[in-house]
Structure 1
């Protein structure tokens, strides 16, 4: 898809059902708007964070029965994945899921930026998505707070619960304040963690989660949307992945951080996906977190989300 004339008029951006994908696609929305397009974003997660995207019109997700009418006034419709059947709803629909399958060594955040620059040929581009925290929040206010996100969209992405709990105990002994971030429907499976005295705060909205993450010092978690959110808010992240190939595409790509491949010493993709969570020890994660802290200390810490490429993104073993 190459565009040699400016994209003008009204553009609809249909965000994903996933938090991370929704944040990633906002890079395209931001750059289109930066170049004069009138952008409207449809999606549940971005609608929940609409106050964090000032100047962008954000609407609730489209309903299949009314999508054609809702999109009638737009000149172009963009989506990362075909999460909604747009067949017949609009004459000009562009899906960007080919970027997920490209042979690029760059993460999706960079691929979408490159798409804006090289395929849309936008004259002005920024490697950001416009996410802006409210002024009453203080970036990394609680420097010892470590956000732990132990769940993900699928169980195969999740490191073992018992090891996350053990990691939290060790962090607490070392002076950190681990905070488990869970969706409301996930809390019932973690009540034993609450009884142990570890912090499992209740969040009513995604905006509440974002505020807590923004004021925290660190993030450790699975390959998940909350990891992308933390990176987007320039919180140093340690992300645990099952395979290097998955990490290459889906690692957080905004703020500085590190990735840890749980299957580094396991042969074969199937075995890696099955056994990575057992092979990855608490000690390895602890050592990776120590390296993350050291790397963070070597770079200047900004008081607002990063606006260019990450200061550092390293794979650690």
Structure 2
């Protein structure tokens, strides 16, 4: 996940302290970090406040990190920085019938990947910027905070975010790197990695999940071919999946996102639904096989980094509720896993 090196301009404005608050979902958070990382590449001092980035602090050496900001602390904390850049759907902005965004918008820049409150556009007051940084920071404030460009139907959300950085934040050299780097203390066990398949059978929405029995059947086939399969699910799902697997396969302890990132980084391939795990696997460089309900090969929310493959239903059935998983066979997924290049073959290519 290396971006091209940037010669940082040593100007007083680049010493400005920025606060970046990403959305609360794992996948969305990872995509939005493309913005934060491009700010770092330009020489700004960036602090990211979000639960998932904070758990990945060892994987994000370019940022300072902290947990989610509490509702009552937003005004105080944002005032400590020269500019705050906040996702409009970030945790705790709306609570108990109180929406903090209209007041914060006077001195904080708002954006959102896909669900944006357009009423926040044009509310920023440049006079709230520190005088010594005003010329440097004002160009970072978006005129229009929606990241997704509905005119470009083929771009991934990662690509949309890069274009947003260039179009709305004047970060003309923006790239798609989100700042994740493999910590030096995490080394791959090469003998295991060539045979380790991580299976993530759940997601944030039931309607996005392939059939549980087919994930297990896939693991059975891979086991017969000499692969070592490990399942990973959310902590709230661990007990039910341990019962379902009945000791045939293990469920990894990935309660913390850092543990999940470590596991994914060691895998030969990751098989998953459209989920945060898919984006994290892609971000840490794992070959990612993502099962989706859409037949759109330009599916916007596809994993946007590394070697990623989409597997779609064999016929267009998305409009028929909950039937799409039956039109992705175990054989198709198995064949794709067998074709997935290992890290060694990728290095040689």
Does TM, normalized by the shorter one, top 0.5?
A: yes
**What are the equivalent positions in structure 2 for 1:227-306 lying under 5 Å apart?**
227-245=278-296, 248-262=299-313, 264-267=314-317, 269-271=318-320, 273-293=321-341, 299-300=346-347
What is the deviation of 1:88?
1.1
Residue 116 of structure 1 pairs with residue 165 of structure 2: yes
1:73 corresponds, among 61, 73, 80, to: 80
Q: CA deviation at 1:188?
A: 1.6
> Which protein shows a greater Rg?
2
Say whether 1:51 aligns with 2:51: no
Q: Does the 8 Å CA contact 2:292/2:311 hold for their aligned counterparts?
A: yes
Aligned length: 293
**1:179 alignment partner, one of 230, 235, 245:** 230
1:135 maps to 2:184 = yes
Q: Deviations over 1:13-59 (max 9, x none)?
A: 11122111111111110101111222111100001111111131111
Mapped contact 1:181–1:201 kept (Cα < 8 A): yes
Q: How far 1:160 moved relative to its partner? A: 0.6
2:4 corresponds in structure 1 to: none
* Residue 196 of structure 1: how far off its partner (Å): 3.6
Counterpart Cα distance in 1 of 2:222 and 2:337: 10
Give structure 1 regions of 4+ aligned residues with deviation exceeding 4 angstroms: none
| Alpha carbons 1:193, 1:200 under 8 Å: kept | no
Residues 150 and 101 of structure 1: CA distance in aligned 2, closer, same or farther (over 3 Å): farther
Q: CA deviation at 1:175?
A: 0.9
2:216 aligned to 165, 185, 195, which one?
A: 165
Tell me, what secondary structure is at the counterpart of 2:322?
helix
2:44 corresponds to 1:37? yes
CA root-mean-square deviation: 2.3
CA deviation vs aligned residue, 1:260-282 (integer Å, no higher than 9, x gap): 112x4135x421x5211122111
TM-score, normalised to structure 2, is 0.77
How far the C-alpha of 1:290 sits from its partner, in A, is 2.7
Q: Which moved more, 1:195-204 or 1:144-153?
A: 195-204
Shift of residue 213, structure 1, vs aligned partner: 1.1
| Unpaired stretches in structure 1, ≥5 consecutive residues | 1-5, 302-310, 312-317
Retained in 2: the 8 A contact 1:137–1:215?
A: no
Cα 1:88–1:8 shift into 2, 3 Å: farther
Matched, 1:199 2:250: yes
Give the 3-state SS of the residue equivalent to 1:109 in structure 2: helix
Distance 2:181 2:228 in 1: 25
Structure 2 gaps of 5+ residues are 1-12, 95-100, 114-145
C-alpha contact 1:140 1:214 (8 A) present in aligned 2: no
When residues 122 and 101 of structure 1 are mapped into structure 2, their CA distance, relative to the original with a 3 A threshold, is closer
The secondary structure found in structure 2 opposite 1:40 is: strand
Q: Contact (CA 8 Å) 1:241, 1:247: kept in 2 or not?
A: no
Secondary structure of the 2:65 match is strand
